[in-house]
Structure 1
Amino acid sequence: MTTTGEARAEGLSGPWWWVRWRSAVLDGTLALLSAVECGVEGVPFARDAGIPVAAGVVFGVLAGSTLLLRRMWPIAVVLVSVAISPAQMGVLLTVVGLYTLAASELPRRIIAALAGMSLVGTLVVTFVRAQQDMTRGEVSNLGDWFVPFISITASLGVTAPPLLLGLYVGARRRLMESLRERADSLEQELQLLAERAEERAEWARNEERTRIAREMHDVVAHRVSLMVVHAAALQAVARKDPEKAVKNAALVGDMGRQALTELREMLGVLRSGDGGAGRREGASVPLAAVGAAAAAAASRAVVDEDGAVGDGPCLSELDELIGQSAAAGMVVDLSVEGEARLYAPEVEQTAYRVVQEALTNVHKHAAGAKTHVRLAHRVSEIAMQVENEPSPEASSASSARLPSGGNGLVGMRERVVGLGGVFVCGPTDAGGFRVSAVIPAS
């Protein structure tokens, strides 16, 4: 698990310039060890220099204590170590100072210059001490090569390992910081993506609700409107023409069964999953599943008396659709131009629904008015127009009082525009109403 920048910032609770208490304790321990080392080494330095021993010890303690500042001023620590190298003290100060310097964010040229100074200082001091030891006879004379060899080896042994280790730790630290920053940026991007996904999900839910409403309207509105018209006509002729009343009652029953069957297909999704798999009682159903079922039910054709479902609605069924309106008392004139041909299923279904909804609106708002339905098969498109004349003042179906939600024209426009077509509707100069649509053939 990665730690974000805010969490790391909250964890920076160390004193002064330390980010953590454990870092302060470590530096304090190292400074104490360095002070003890330099204080002990200050005794022979004071004797060689001819100064009081106490002064040499104090000098060594103060010089070694500068290691406490290694994180704040690494350059100063290295310079102090170089300065006291002639006194032959501060090995721990040199090693830790070089490591801290190499691991810091300072420019490489500064690190190289200070490391070179420390190497040269250690080399010179080691060379002089080895030469003195050979002169005093404390070390057996092994040849002229011994002093340079021991000097180079000792100086490299003191400076090279901490320098290389510091460079490695610094590079690794920068890499980890880069990875943390990348993780923080990725986390922010994921949060942004999650917010956008939530927005897209909300938009999709709204779109699915609109789709469900449109499909339910297409499935039910036309049949129920015809049922209401036939019921009103049945009421008007029940006593005068019993035979016609029986016919109208049969039509109402057929349309009611058709509407119930299609509603049952859509609402059945609320009780069963995809492919008929059962759902637990009370389980939620996604809007997409309900919308898909609504679209599937809306794509069905007319259901016969036995409940058998045919193919999806197509333009070849316009005669049957117009026949249902004619049976309800509407005078409908159908004219077809051009040679009929097969279109994509969504094109035929949309054209069929436009005519269906336009006829439904005539039943609602201009019952008894003569209606003209025109269908034109063109080279690259199909055009349809449904226009009704003004409604007569007195009509046997005028008492039906069909309600209107005002969503039929909106749904037709959405369907046509969704296929790249053009939809226009509005009143005519003669007092009627016209619905026109042009849909690309492919």
Structure 2
Amino acid sequence: MRLPRRIRLSAEQVAVVCALAEPLTVLDESGPLALAVCVPALLALPLRRRLPVTVLCATLPAMVTGYLLLPWVITMYAVASSRPQDRVLWPSGLLIAAAVCPWPLPGVADKTLTELLNAIEVAALLSVGSTALGLLARARAQTQAQLARLEASQAREQRLGAEQAVIRERARLARDMHDTVSHHLSIIAVQAGALRAVESDPAKRADVESIRKHSVRALEELRDTVGVLRRSGVLGATAAGRPHLADLPGLAADSALDVTTDLRALTERSWPPGVETAVYRIVQEALTNVRKHAPGAPVAISALLAEDRESLVLEVRNGPAAHRREDAAFPAGGHGLVGLRERAERLGGRLDASPGADGGFLVRAVLPL
């Protein structure tokens, strides 16, 4: 069974707990010397990460006297795992020398050669073992850090590659738009200008002039859009061609529809550029849909502040069509309202579009300020 994170213990933490319990094994031999060497060794253990060599020196007397073994093993592990490899040699040598040193010193002459060799062997094993484990832990931490850096570098390279792919695709789209759409719009503008020059009926001349003016405006917006697609930076993507709220009355007047507006809220304060663009595009698409699907229907456009004055409520409502359109000259892609919803959602708002009970249609957007 997997333990919760808050109660999991590492091997080093378990060893520290055992070291704190180790004095229980020498209770029968407790005295002034035991207290003098054991208490500093145990109290210094929490500082083994910040002052590893100092703590190691504090644990050596307890190890030399034979009262405690675990504190200096744990501390040497901390020294090896936290210091560069070339700076571990002299603490390790100091530890081996202290471990080999017999206690009490006058009793050296009473030890046999075998006992001395066994003491040296045990001291070397404990010292080298704890040092090797510490160096292994340090190498493992360095390897993990290097892997993390490599993963971050790979993710950055992938992100840059994706951005370059987007830039190349945007450049391709710009070329295609320039080569196809601008060609047809230019023909429309030129032919409308020629027709206006020879047309004598004022009403027809006005209609032809409207066609020419809209085609020229479309060419200008296409030029700005192509320029944005060719730019790779964020600032370039938010640059030219952005419509403004001040353009809405002209948009309504040029729509060739019976439009009534209530846009007083738009003049009460300044608006973020993203909100201005969203309002303009929503009204533009709604008017386009009325011309396509409900020609001759009256349209009412209103923009009001919500009761909390923290959002703008935009409504474009049209009545039922005055007559059915017999031609199918307007292609319907089905992406207009979807794009408007996405535009509103990017601003943190929402857009709803639904038919009305009178046979008309309502587009309603709520955009936060």
**TM score, norm. by length of structure 1:** 0.44
**Inter-partner Cα distance in structure 1 for 2:317 and 2:167:** 31
User: Which residue matches 1:330?
Assistant: 257
Q: Which of 293, 296, 315 is the matching residue for 2:239? A: 296
Q: 1:335 to 1:411 in 2, by over 3 A?
A: same
Q: 1:194 to 1:350 in 2, by over 3 A?
A: same
Deviations 1:302-322 (A, max 9, x none): xxxxxxxxxxx12x3221111
Deviations 1:272-310 (A, max 9, x none): x6xxxxxxxxxxxx6xx4x764543452x3xxxxxxxxx
User: Which residue matches 1:383?
Assistant: 313
**Inter-partner Cα distance in structure 2 for 1:253 and 1:418:** 34
**Inter-partner Cα distance in structure 2 for 1:198 and 1:156:** 62
Q: Could you tell me whether the CA contact under 8 Å between 1:265 and 1:293 is conserved in 2?
A: no
Q: 1:197 to 1:317 in 2, by over 3 A?
A: same
SS of residue in 1 equivalent to 2:239: helix
How big is the shift at 1:358?
1.1
Q: Max radius of gyration: which structure?
A: 1
User: Which residue matches 1:84?
Assistant: none
Q: Which of 206, 218, 224 is the matching residue for 1:265? A: 224
Q: 1:402 to 1:350 in 2, by over 3 A?
A: same
Q: 1:238 to 1:331 in 2, by over 3 A?
A: farther
Is 1:318–2:261 an aligned residue pair?
A: no
Q: Could you tell me whether the CA contact under 8 Å between 1:336 and 1:375 is conserved in 2?
A: yes
How big is the shift at 1:193?
6.6
How big is the shift at 1:228?
12
Q: Could you tell me whether the CA contact under 8 Å between 1:229 and 1:400 is conserved in 2?
A: no
SS of residue in 1 equivalent to 2:126: helix
Amino acid at match of 1:265: D
Q: 1:154 to 1:171 in 2, by over 3 A?
A: same
Q: Which of 337, 360, 363 is the matching residue for 1:435? A: 363
Amino acid at match of 2:349: G
Aligned positions, number: 255
Is 1:425–2:353 an aligned residue pair?
A: yes
Is 1:343–2:271 an aligned residue pair?
A: yes
Q: Could you tell me whether the CA contact under 8 Å between 1:228 and 1:402 is conserved in 2?
A: no
User: Which residue matches 2:330?
Assistant: 402
Q: What are the equivalent positions in structure 2 for 1:24-43 lying under 5 Å apart?
A: none
User: Which residue matches 2:125?
Assistant: 166
SS of residue in 1 equivalent to 2:313: strand
**Inter-partner Cα distance in structure 2 for 1:229 and 1:414:** 31
**Inter-partner Cα distance in structure 2 for 1:366 and 1:247:** 23
**Inter-partner Cα distance in structure 2 for 1:319 and 1:433:** 21
**Inter-partner Cα distance in structure 2 for 1:432 and 1:412:** 19
Q: 1:270 to 1:388 in 2, by over 3 A?
A: closer
SS of residue in 2 equivalent to 1:179: helix
How big is the shift at 1:425?
0.7
| Structure 1 stretches lacking a partner, 5+ long | 1-101, 103-118, 124-144, 213-225, 274-285, 302-312
Q: 1:419 to 1:268 in 2, by over 3 A?
A: closer
**Inter-partner Cα distance in structure 2 for 1:430 and 1:205:** 51
Q: Which of 221, 242, 255 is the matching residue for 2:201? A: 242
SS of residue in 2 equivalent to 1:402: coil
**Inter-partner Cα distance in structure 1 for 2:353 and 2:208:** 34
Q: Could you tell me whether the CA contact under 8 Å between 2:313 and 2:367 is conserved in 1?
A: yes
SS of residue in 2 equivalent to 1:319: helix
Q: Which of 279, 287, 291 is the matching residue for 1:363? A: 291
Q: 1:206 to 1:406 in 2, by over 3 A?
A: farther
**Inter-partner Cα distance in structure 2 for 1:392 and 1:293:** 44
Amino acid at match of 1:332: V
**Inter-partner Cα distance in structure 1 for 2:188 and 2:324:** 14
**TM score, norm. by length of structure 2:** 0.52
| Structure 2 stretches lacking a partner, 5+ long | 1-72, 74-99, 172-184
User: Which residue matches 2:34?
Assistant: none
How big is the shift at 1:385?
1.0
Q: 1:229 to 1:262 in 2, by over 3 A?
A: closer
Deviations 1:174-198 (A, max 9, x none): 1233234445655776787789879
SS of residue in 2 equivalent to 1:267: helix
SS of residue in 1 equivalent to 2:300: strand
**Inter-partner Cα distance in structure 1 for 2:149 and 2:268:** 53
How big is the shift at 1:265?
3.0
Q: 1:242 to 1:230 in 2, by over 3 A?
A: farther
Q: Could you tell me whether the CA contact under 8 Å between 1:371 and 1:386 is conserved in 2?
A: yes
Amino acid at match of 2:312: I
Q: Which of 402, 405, 416 is the matching residue for 2:344? A: 416
SS of residue in 2 equivalent to 1:404: coil
Q: 1:362 to 1:413 in 2, by over 3 A?
A: same
Q: 1:348 to 1:246 in 2, by over 3 A?
A: same
Q: What are the equivalent positions in structure 2 for 1:26-425 lying under 5 Å apart?
A: 150=109, 152=111, 158-182=117-141, 242-268=201-227, 289=233, 293-299=236-242, 301=243, 313-314=244-245, 316-325=246-255, 329-336=256-263, 340-378=268-306, 379-393=309-323, 399=327, 401-425=329-353
**Inter-partner Cα distance in structure 1 for 2:318 and 2:340:** 17
Root-mean-square deviation over aligned CA pairs: 5.1
Q: Could you tell me whether the CA contact under 8 Å between 2:262 and 2:302 is conserved in 1?
A: yes
